[in-house]
Amino acid sequence: MKTIQLAEAKTHFSSIMKIVQAGDEVAIAYGKKKQTIAVIIPYKQWEKYKKRKLGTLEGKMSVVFAKDFAISDEELVSL
């Protein structure tokens, strides 16, 4: 993954898109500390994340709590 400063990314956006089109990821850094604030990824990789389904165990299991179930904050924190 290549990291590019934001100002450079604005100036050379077309060349960055060619890098992404080739299948590579490009990170955008910002500020004096050059912290990564975004990552541009190819659309095919994004499709994989988009199709991820949450709640795959829905309807396959259940949880039942007893009516007298109680836990204090201290007990919860100590777990």
- Give the per-residue pLDDT at 68: 86
What are the tens digits of pLDDT across the range 27-69?
999 999 999 999 999 998 888 777 767 677 788 888 888 888 8
- Give the per-residue pLDDT at 54: 67
- Give the per-residue pLDDT at 60: 84
Span 1-21, mean pLDDT?
Answer: 94
pLDDT at 8 over 80: yes
Which one is the CATH code of 2-78: 3.40.1620.10, 3.30.9.10, 4.10.80.40, 3.40.30.10?
Answer: 3.40.1620.10
Task: Please report, for the chain, the start and end positions of each structural domain, with discontinuous segments joined by +.
Answer: 2-78
Span 1-29, mean pLDDT?
Answer: 94
Contact 45, 39 (CB under 8 A): no
- Give the per-residue pLDDT at 52: 67
What are the tokens at 54?
A: 């949450």
